[in-house]
Amino acid sequence: MTYFRELPSILYQSPLSTRSSSDEYVEVKNLFRRVKLRDDLKGSVTYLTNYYVRDGFRPDQVAEDLYGNSNLDWVVLHTAGIVNVRDEWPLTSKEIYDYSSNKYGNDLNQIRYYVTTEVKDSTGKVYLPKGKVVDLDFTIPDPTSSTATLNPVGGVTNYEHESNLNEDKRNITVLRPAYLELFLSDVRRIMTYSKSSQFVNNRVVRTENTRNTDPN
């Protein structure tokens, strides 16, 4: 079930000057019909689950892994909320390195900002979590000493920054395989036309182009 195959069609009155009559129509896919995730599925831990995209995995490979059908890549993208694959899908390790190298050049390994490193107290409890953006001279009291202070700071380079952003993209939300048929049934319902004056069948409607004139 590829996405565009499931789109219903519209018969448009042919705009070509070479058409034989005003009854000549051209069939096109109705791109205005959009799949919408049911409200009761959105944010539901019952229907949706987290998925980690492995390095080099494409949407079709994720679909094959989850649903046994690479043609359902559009289901993966839809439930993950991804519209622009080029910008929103994670790059491979090589691609993110090449991208960062081209973007920063000689400044690739220059420090971009500083973050905290994890600090624990004498009982092993986390006293300061890692990853908080701070200044280079940030200090805290040493939780294991009454007199000492610590400077638990580490630098993040431009390359590490881009890698971290790319890594975040690897965590996506997907539809649980058990609810795939329910989702596809909804899609088929959305893609079906109701009877109207333009109705041809439940997959096709006809519309007139009022700007056309009969060439005969």
85 and 173 part of one domain: yes
Q: Is 54 exposed, middle or buried (0-12, 13-18, 19+ CB in 10 A)?
A: exposed
User: To which residue do tokens 């420090």 refer?
Assistant: 111
User: How many structural domains is the chain composed of?
Assistant: 2
114 shares its domain with 200? no
**Percent of the chain whose predicted confidence (pLDDT) is above 70:** 68
Residue 23 confidence (pLDDT): 67
178 and 141 both lie in a single domain: no
Name the average pLDDT for the chain.
83
Is residue 182 situated within a structural domain? yes
Q: Which DSSP category does 89 fall into?
A: S
H or E stretch including 207?
strand 204-207
pLDDT tens for each residue of 141-185: 999 998 999 999 999 999 999 999 999 999 999 999 999 998 888
For residue 54, give both structure tokens: 């492995």
Indicate whether 117 and 88 sit together in one domain. no
User: Hey, CA dihedral for 154, 155, 159, 162, is it positive or negative?
Assistant: positive
Do both 104 and 150 map to the same domain? yes
Residues 89, 103 within the same domain: no
- The answer on 144 and 65 residing in a single domain is no
30 and 84 assigned to the same domain:
yes
Range of the domain at 152: 99-157
Residues 36, 110 within the same domain: no
Whether residues 104 and 190 fall in one domain: no
Dump strand ranges (E) for 135-182: 140-141, 149-150, 153-157, 171-175
For residues 128 and 132, give the distance between their C-alpha atoms in angstroms, rounded to a whole number: 9
In a domain, 118, yes or no: yes
163 located within any domain: no
Shared domain for 16 and 120, answered yes or no, is no
DSSP, res 24: -
204-207: strand order across its sheet: 25-29, 9-13, 204-207, 199-201
